[in-house]
Amino acid sequence: MTRRPLLQTLAALSLATLSMAATAQQQVLNLYSARHYQTDEALYEDFTKSTGIRINRIDGDDAGIYSRLKSEGAASPADVVLMVDAARLWRAEIDGLFQPVRSPVLEARIPANLRGKDDGQGSQWFGFSTRARIVVYDKARIPRAEVDTYEKLASAANKGRLCTRSGSHPYNLSLFGSMLEHLGPQKTETWLKGLVDNMARAPKGGDTDQIKGVASGECGVAITNSYYLARMMRSDKPEDRATIEKVGVVFPNQGDHGTHINIAGGAVAKYAKNRAAAVRFLEYLASDSAQNYFANGNNEWPAVAKLRAQNPALQALGDFKAESVPISVIGMNQVKVQQMLDRVGYR
């Protein structure tokens, strides 16, 4: 080979190498996310910084993302899906919207009860953070002993006191699906009817509204996700601090099955075009740094059991006994629970 062709060959190889490097730097991961928390921006930026993979994100709620995946089918550009409720993760799995993932990293770090069912090919989704469904009450006029279990919220002592968001909201559907496992069908429906009978007003608003309702005196007791309360505990707003001063907090059922927990989780989309990058992203979400973002950014407990959240609000709430019902089982119960809600008039 003459010198000139050799130089041309070397130049071509150099250009090819640079092109491949540029392509790697420009790799894009398409993410459908129901996590509408501004603090997650740092999470995504950290992933891109460490991998060179840029995230193209489409936001929506769980229901919207589920519907979009179904309608797009094989044409969907989604690589990774993040949802904030176990019941919806389960439904998407059942409807074939995810694909199984076998990952030693995820299997070592994410507890089995916070993963989808493993059919031998791997789990179809993984929980990356947890939140507890807790009780807040008016500590000036209601004894803690009257509201320290979910079952007591339906007792005669709490007539006219209870406030909740819609019974059909995923956060409540998951709690009720959990209670179905603990109580069985007949007792669960009776309990749900008791909740309806004890309402201080018709279900409305979000979880923060329930906390404020207790503080204002509109409600005596309410159900909320823990991170809404922790967010107010960390707030600098005088009105939020005043609200927190008025409410007591209970992790229900510490004497028996424990407090219901839900998850925010992720999955590789069924028709992901960038599967390797998608798995890499899920593994990143199980890393210490990402788990700390969940804890410090959005006041959620890390799914990785060995990590303790360095979050003053979560530390102030203290340790508690969490239930051990598999998240996938809670998801499976949602259809039966919705039928019960319709029968008892829980809107």
Distance of CA 108 to the CA centre of its chain: 20
Determine, yes or no, domain membership for 272: yes
Domain total in the chain: 2
* DSSP symbols for 114-139: GB----SS-BS-EEEEEEEEEEEEET
Q: Are 157 and 198 in contact (CB under 8 A)?
A: no
Determine, yes or no, domain membership for 221: yes
CA distance 280 to 80: 10
104 plus 178 within the same structural domain: no
Determine, yes or no, domain membership for 9: no
Question: For residue 31, what are the CA distances in angstroms to 44, 56, 78, 122, 266?
Answer: 10, 6, 6, 21, 10
301 plus 226 within the same structural domain: no
285 plus 204 within the same structural domain: no
Determine, yes or no, domain membership for 294: yes
Determine, yes or no, domain membership for 14: no
Determine, yes or no, domain membership for 6: no
CA distance 265 to 281: 12
pLDDT tens digits for 302-311?
A: 999 777 767 8
Question: For residue 345, what are the CA distances in angstroms to 33, 46, 151, 195, 196?
Answer: 32, 46, 18, 10, 7
Question: How far does the chain reach from its first CA to its final CA, in angstroms?
Answer: 81
118 plus 136 within the same structural domain: no
Determine, yes or no, domain membership for 194: yes
177 plus 95 within the same structural domain: no
CA distance 5 to 95: 57
CA distance 293 to 289: 6
Determine, yes or no, domain membership for 103: yes
Q: What is residue 26's predicted lDDT score, i.e. its pLDDT?
A: 59
144 plus 234 within the same structural domain: yes
The H-or-E segment that residue 248 falls in is: strand 247-250
Q: Are 246 and 253 in contact (CB under 8 A)?
A: no
91 plus 137 within the same structural domain: no
Q: What is residue 20's predicted lDDT score, i.e. its pLDDT?
A: 40
CA distance 225 to 13: 56
CA distance 31 to 79: 6
253's tokens: 């059922």
The H-or-E segment that residue 214 falls in is: helix 207-216
Q: What is residue 17's predicted lDDT score, i.e. its pLDDT?
A: 39
Give the domain extent around 125.
27-129+262-308
222 plus 163 within the same structural domain: yes
Q: What is residue 52's predicted lDDT score, i.e. its pLDDT?
A: 96
122 plus 136 within the same structural domain: no
115 plus 212 within the same structural domain: no
Q: Residue 295 sits in a domain of what CATH number?
A: 3.40.190.10
329 plus 240 within the same structural domain: yes
271 plus 235 within the same structural domain: no
Q: Name the stretches of the chain with pLDDT < 50.
A: 1, 3-25
